[in-house]
Amino acid sequence: MEPDLKGKYVLVTPAKNEEKNLPEVSKSVIGQKLKPELWVIVDDGSTDGTPSILEDLQASYSWIQSIRLPPRPRDITFHYSYVCKQGFDYALEYCRENGIELEYIGLLDADTVLEENYFGKLLIEFEKDNSLGIASGGIYYDIGGKLSREVTTKHLPRGTGRIWRKECFLETGGYQVEPSPDSISNIKALRRGWRLMQCTDVVQIQKRKTSAADGLWHGYIKNGWMAYYLGKNPFIALLNVLYYSLKSPHYTGAAYFWGYFGSAIRWEKKIQDSEIRAYYRNQRFVESLSTISGIFSRNPEEAREREQ
């Protein structure tokens, strides 16, 4: 018998010009066996039909709230994390004002569709292990009616569809307004003794490829820059360039290379957080090489598939 977990989590979603994906995403959240106590959708100045969709959702469901930010260009670095933080701050304040007690805090991008019991399955894992701080499902793509999983480091939770234990979220400083905030959260959690998990059998379907909101070329340039900004080792960056260059579309390797090494040539600033800088400075090569070799050992085209 599954434990009674009703009403123990809130969910935050950043959205910008998502009229195409938001109806299906919202349907998957509304249809969850374990619904959030509160779902905050942050409209990042959308210029399409997103505001109208959000108005309808709020009118139909009392547990869905939205806030709107002024229009700004889409940006997966500082601005993305700023948008998310506005949602988290609003959600926590809303819960305090309305006497809502919660144990978990979730993040879901507006291009991600969830299986029916997505959060229920993840919260059961939290109930099993008090040291589990952050978890997510695996990211899948629908390719011709079959689901192909995006291969990543197995134990690290994904950015979208992730959920924090509230204590872990607060202990690690909440959601940082920094590039790659999910990686920063992972590192801070690990350094404080929390365990991380990616449950690859818990399915979330991403409607576009990771980093592809503004096209893969620009997305991977920013990924390379973020790796430089966080202080990742140049040798590891080159291994990533090689990995991206060997899989389709091959130009993402060149984009990542330019993002990282172009930033290094220009001596651009790096993150000031001493804890993050120390983590990447002391990261052992054997661990990084093991991660890379694990990725290389699996052909993305042979990723696990499921019939819909």
Question: At what angle are helices 274-282 and 181-191 packed, to 10 degrees?
Answer: 80
Which residues are within 8 A (CB) of 93 and not within 5 positions of it... i.e. 6 or more apart? none
Query: Helix, strand, or coil here: 96?
Result: helix
pLDDT at position 47 = 95
Query: Helix, strand, or coil here: 95?
Result: helix
- Which helix (H) or strand (E) segment holds residue 188: the answer is helix 181-191
301 pLDDT above the threshold of 60? no
Q: pLDDT confidence of 132, banded at 50, 70, 90?
A: very high
Greater confidence (282 vs 287) lies with 282
Task: Summarize pLDDT for 59-111 with one digit per residue, the tens.
Answer: 999 999 999 999 887 666 789 999 999 999 999 999 999 999 999 999 999 99
pLDDT at position 116 = 96
3 pLDDT above the threshold of 80? no
Q: pLDDT confidence of 293, banded at 50, 70, 90?
A: low
pLDDT at position 286 = 47
- Which helix (H) or strand (E) segment holds residue 51: the answer is helix 50-60
276 pLDDT above the threshold of 70? yes
Which of these, 117, 112, 114, lies nearest to 33 by C-alpha position? 117
307 pLDDT above the threshold of 70? no
Tell me the pTM.
0.84
pLDDT at position 233 = 85
pLDDT at position 236 = 83
Residue 181 · residue 113 · CB < 8 Å: no
Residue 184 · residue 81 · CB < 8 Å: no
Encoding tokens for residue 174? 């909440």
Which residues are within 8 A (CB) of 266 and not within 5 positions of it... i.e. 6 or more apart? none
pLDDT at position 298 = 47
- The beta-strand segments (E) located in 72-194 are 104-107, 112-114, 132-143, 146-149, 162-165
Alpha-carbon span 121 to 34, nearest angstrom:
9
Residue 249: asked if its preceding bond is cis (omega within 30°), the reply is yes
Place of tokens 């002024």: 70
Fold of 9-206: Spore Coat Polysaccharide Biosynthesis Protein SpsA; Chain A (3.90.550)
Beta bridge partners of 271: none
Place of tokens 């998957």: 28
Q: Which range (6-10, 261-265, 302-306) has the least confidence? A: 302-306
What is the overall mean pLDDT for the chain? 87
pLDDT at position 158 = 95
Task: Summarize pLDDT for 142-171 with one digit per residue, the tens.
Answer: 988 898 998 787 789 999 999 999 999 999
Q: Give domain limits for the chain.
A: 9-206, 216-297
